[in-house]
Amino acid sequence: MSDNYESKVAISVSHLTKIYKLYDRNRDRLKEALHLSKNINFREHYALNDVSLEVKTGETVGIIGTNGSGKSTILKIITGVLNPSRGEVKINGRISALLELGAGFNMEFTGIENIYLNGTMIGFSEEEIDAKLQDILDFADIGDFVYQKVKTYSSGMFVRLAFAVAINIDPEILIVDEALSVGDVFFQNKCYRKFEDFKKQGKTILFVSHDLSSVSKYCDRVILLEKGKKIGEGSPKEIIDMYKKVLVGQLDMQSNTRKSADLSTGSKWKDRMQLNPDKDEYGSGLAEFEDYCAYDKSGEITNTIIKGEEFTVKVKIRFFDTIQEPIFAVSFKNRQGTEITGTNTMFEKISTGTAVPGDVIVATFTQNMSLQGGEYLISLGCVGYREGEFTVYHRLYDVFNLTVISDKDTTGFYDMDSIVTVRNEDDNDEA
């Protein structure tokens, strides 16, 4: 391999494996540590299993995966926090890492002392830290608390200082593990602006997050881990799509191909969704939601929708009595419980006819996703008027979630999809 090639690779991970021994009893762990017995029963857990990847200089690469997939483990090995069981890691450049924020802080030291401690650990001289100190203090913006012991900090102040130290020491390689989702909204905005500055400066960034919108927006390439193995690598859209299949068990892990999500199969649609185990439901019992799901523009059942793309909520209702003009409804709430939007067959002026006992009616709500990136809770309803009285036949509150992935969020709950033009007033173009 040429020196020129190596200079273009910031991080090289080759056949990385991390194995943990799991013991049935704590005393077995102690016995093995003290070499008191040769016949200790344990199981091997592969946190990482033969993972290889490269991050080129100036590239922003995301790592995604379900909980326990090995994302944080690989970052800890790359940064030297953990040692691998097998494999090799090569780093070409000075690293700053935001793993467990403030993991390198001494709680008995003041904020100022921790700034110098962390800077020294990364390899900076005292003079170099002196030059960066004001930038760090300005970014953290915690005032005179920086002269107090860190153990007296609120969680918000702790996060601010940890991030400020990590991101203002001018690293060549920045490694981030979920750190951009902490703090208040204004601090998050400041962090993302700094993140964008790093990209513009051609810094190398390795980025782990559950925030798929941020992964889609910032990453040049994405790697998908599952159960300690690398199962996908490619463009953000391609790998996020694969991840959606993993979340609902529709990715064949052996052949790395997608399983069909044909809505006409005999299995329940809802079995392929992530459902809320704490959903709230009630009703008269005269009708019941038998099945429901959401699916994207390609017809794949999913809890994840790309902003701007068409999607459908589909429901199946079984009737146990004669009901005239039942009304089918769907609504969206944000995580705070605020109802954002919704509609029903009455609003849409759709006649649903008369349902008789044994009837099963399927209703679909198809629309473009205009909501901002984030998490939303979906509620379903079957209601109507029976003998002149409003009646709830069956209602399911917050039955499943939808994650909206966006690379452009505007102000408010939804995007007006504005067409914006800008021109110089002196231009001679016609209005």
- pLDDT tens digit sequence for 107-162: 899 999 999 988 887 778 889 899 999 999 998 889 999 999 999 988 778 878 88
Please say if the pLDDT value at position 253 is more than 60.
no
50-84 CB burial, b ≥16 within 10 A, e <16 = ebebbbbbebbbbbbbeeebbbbbbbbbbbeebeb
Q: What is the DSSP letter of 272?
A: G
Both tokens of residue 391?
């009646």
The residue among 97 and 55 whose pLDDT is bigger is: 55
CA–CA dist 203, 208 (Å, integer): 16
Local confidence band at 314 (pLDDT 50, 70, 90 cut-offs): very high
Structural domains of the chain in order of their starting residue, each with its CATH number: 3-245 (3.40.50.300), 270-405 (2.70.50.60)
Residue 410 sits at the vertex; the CA angle it makes with 408 and 414, to the nearest 5 degrees, is 105
Instruction: Count the helix, strand and coil residues of the chain and give each as a percent rounded to the nearest 5.
Output: 25, 35, 35
pLDDT of residue 180: 57
For the chain, give the percent of residues with pLDDT over 90: 48
**Range 289-302 average pLDDT:** 94
Please say if the pLDDT value at position 4 is more than 60.
no
**Range 370-390 average pLDDT:** 94
CA–CA dist 362, 412 (Å, integer): 33
Q: What is the DSSP letter of 102?
A: T
- pLDDT tens digit sequence for 70-92: 998 999 999 888 999 999 999 99
**Range 167-191 average pLDDT:** 74
How buried is residue 418: exposed, middle or buried, by Cβ count under 10 Å (0-12/13-18/19+)?
exposed
How far is C-alpha 234 from the geometric centre of its chain's CA atoms? 17
pLDDT of residue 429: 57
**Range 205-227 average pLDDT:** 88
Contact 14, 38 (CB under 8 A): no
In this structure, the dihedral spanned by the alpha carbons of residues 374, 233, 54 and 61, taken in order and rounded to 10 degrees, is -20
Decide: helix, strand or coil at residue 265.
coil
pLDDT of residue 425: 81
Amino acid at 188: Q
Contact 63, 243 (CB under 8 A): no
Please say if the pLDDT value at position 42 is more than 80.
no
pLDDT of residue 428: 62
How far is C-alpha 160 from the geometric centre of its chain's CA atoms? 21
Q: Any bridge partners for residue 86, and if so which? A: 17
How far is C-alpha 124 from the geometric centre of its chain's CA atoms? 33
Please say if the pLDDT value at position 17 is more than 70.
yes
Q: Any bridge partners for residue 324, and if so which? A: 354
pLDDT of residue 98: 72
Please say if the pLDDT value at position 258 is more than 50.
no
Q: What is the mean pLDDT of the chain?
A: 86
Least confident segment among 2-11, 295-304, 366-375:
2-11
CA–CA dist 402, 330 (Å, integer): 13
CA–CA dist 129, 164 (Å, integer): 13
pLDDT of residue 29: 66
* Helix or strand (DSSP H, E) at 158: helix 155-167
Neighbouring CB atoms inside 10 A of 207's CB total 25
